[in-house]
């Protein structure tokens, strides 16, 4: 299974430390180690 952003289909990247990201749908700011290469983060439910 190819891992890609559910919003823009860009590849996902995994970073070593949590960084603040904004959910692409809910716009909440959370720390995450996963985002797409365009900086998007899919919201957690």
For the chain, strand residue ranges (E) read 12-22, 29-36
The predicted model scores a pTM of: 0.68
Task: Give the pLDDT score at 45.
Answer: 56
Strand partners, 11: 4
Task: Give the pLDDT score at 37.
Answer: 92
- pLDDT tens, position by position, for the chain (45 residues)? 578 888 899 999 999 999 998 888 888 899 999 999 998 887 765
Task: Give the pLDDT score at 13.
Answer: 92
Alpha helix stretches (DSSP H) within the chain: none
């Amino acid at each position: 299974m190819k891992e890609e952003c559910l919003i823009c289909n860009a590849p996902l990247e995994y970073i070593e430390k949590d960084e603040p990201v904004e959910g692409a749908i809910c716009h909440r700011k959370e720390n995450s180690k996963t985002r797409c290469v365009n900086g998007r983060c899919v919201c957690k439910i």
